[in-house]
């Protein structure tokens, strides 16, 4: 009986620790940084073409979920956590590569916004967005289609 009790406490601890780890990866500062600087920036300047709400997703890259951001686009990963200089997303917003400039068409971000993205990558890409795995993204696409279909 005692053994059972010890085991279940052990299991509980493991269970708790896995949560603590998943959560603990983000400090309050990192969370605030993401919510204040990164999320609004991505939403305003990138979601138009790189989110589940885009009319057409460009470059096969979804930046509105953590999974999508880390997975990358048609040419592979776009962010190497901790290494901005190896991250194609950073290269793109810096406008140093004539073949990949984001947002496109001379809409280069402000230097401070680029610096925020660089800092974000340096920090290891802290990102609290846990919902919307690709399957759910497709779901919301479907909901959109259903809504559209109901209109007519």
Give the interface with ligand HEC as residue ranges (CB under 6 A).
45-46, 48-50, 58-59, 61, 72-75, 78, 88-89, 92-93, 100, 102-104
Please, what is the minimum distance in Å from the beta carbon of residue 11 to ligand HEC? 42
User: CB nearest ligand HEC: which residue?
Assistant: 73
Residue 46 or 132: which CB sits closer to ligand HEC?
Answer: 46
CA distance 31 to 28: 5
Residue 79 or 132: which CB sits closer to ligand HEC?
Answer: 79
CA angle in degrees (0–180, nearest 5) for 5-6-7: 90
In contact, 109 and 93? CB cutoff 8 Å: yes
Please, what is the minimum distance in Å from the beta carbon of residue 105 to ligand HEC? 7
Residue 30 or 120: which CB sits closer to ligand HEC?
Answer: 120
Please, what is the minimum distance in Å from the beta carbon of residue 101 to ligand HEC? 8
B/e letters for 11-38, b = 16+ CB within 10 Å, e = fewer, are eeeeeeeeeeeeeeebeeebeebbeebb
Residue 23 or 48: which CB sits closer to ligand HEC?
Answer: 48
State yes or no: cis peptide before 103, omega within 30 of 0.
yes
CA distance 79 to 72: 7
CA distance 138 to 132: 9
Please, what is the minimum distance in Å from the beta carbon of residue 77 to ligand HEC? 8
């Amino acid at each position: 009986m005692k053994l059972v009790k010890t085991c279940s406490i052990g299991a509980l601890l493991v269970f708790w620790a896995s949560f603590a780890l998943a959560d603990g990866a983000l400090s309050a500062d990192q969370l605030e940084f993401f919510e204040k600087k990164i999320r609004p920036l991505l939403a305003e300047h990138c979601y138009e073409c790189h989110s589940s709400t885009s009319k057409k997703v460009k470059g096969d890259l979804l930046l509105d979920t953590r999974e999508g951001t880390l997975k990358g686009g048609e040419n592979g990963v776009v962010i190497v956590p901790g290494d901005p200089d190896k991250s194609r997303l950073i290269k793109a917003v810096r406008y140093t590569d004539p073949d990949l400039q984001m947002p496109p068409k001379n809409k280069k971000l402000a230097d401070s916004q680029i610096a925020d993205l660089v800092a974000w990558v340096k920090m290891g890409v802290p990102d609290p967005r846990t919902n919307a795995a690709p399957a759910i993204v497709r779901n919301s696409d479907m909901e959109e289609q259903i809504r559209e279909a109901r209109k007519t």
